């Protein structure tokens, strides 16, 4: 009302009381009704229009939409990092991602290398090399996708 320079403090109190009354009616109509922010804001819009503060209601609607757009998250937007405070549901996957790849210090491959050099035929060596190259290419593709 102040932003639109339309209405007094008494008008604001009246609209607030109308909102409270309407929300109480909804609880009586449906005992499982939950007063969430969106529902309250919808009722505020309704009551502003009912009280003939149409310009205030219009400004309020536009303000809500502007705030809604600014809060929208876009997980597909190109960025280097995903911020935990912006996507808290991703925190549960941090350990899984950190442990989703092997590093050379985790395993001793000495006997495997010895077997590869001594006990395997050239055809088998070629198959193993091609398989390892394919796995490496997939790893690179997955990491660049993130």
Q: For the segment 101-143, what is each residue's pLDDT rounded down to a tens digit? A: 777 777 788 888 899 899 999 999 999 999 999 999 998 888 7
Locate 127 and state its tokens.
Answer: 């198959």
In percent, the amount of the chain with pLDDT more than 90 equals 51
In whole angstroms, what is the distance from residue 69 CA to residue 66 CA?
5
DSSP at 60:
H
> pTM for this structure?
0.50
In whole angstroms, what is the distance from residue 17 CA to residue 19 CA?
5
Q: Where are the domains of the chain?
A: 9-71, 88-145
pLDDT digits (tens, 9 = 90+) for 37-86: 889 999 999 999 999 999 999 999 999 998 888 777 676 777 666 666 66
């Amino acid at each position: 009302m102040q932003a639109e320079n339309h209405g007094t403090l008494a008008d604001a109190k009246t609209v607030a009381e109308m909102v409270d009354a309407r929300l109480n009616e909804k609880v009586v109509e449906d005992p499982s009704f939950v007063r969430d922010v969106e529902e309250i804001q919808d009722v505020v819009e309704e009551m502003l229009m009912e009280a003939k503060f149409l310009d205030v209601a219009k400004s309020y609607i536009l303000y809500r939409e502007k705030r809604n757009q600014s809060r929208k998250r876009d997980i597909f937007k190109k960025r280097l990092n995903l911020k935990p405070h912006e996507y808290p549901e991703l925190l549960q996957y941090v350990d899984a991602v950190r442990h989703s790849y092997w590093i050379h210090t985790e395993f001793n491959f000495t006997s495997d290398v010895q077997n590869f050099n001594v006990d395997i035929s050239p055809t088998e060596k070629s198959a193993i090399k091609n398989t390892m190259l394919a796995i490496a290419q997939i790893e690179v593709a997955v990491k660049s996708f993130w």
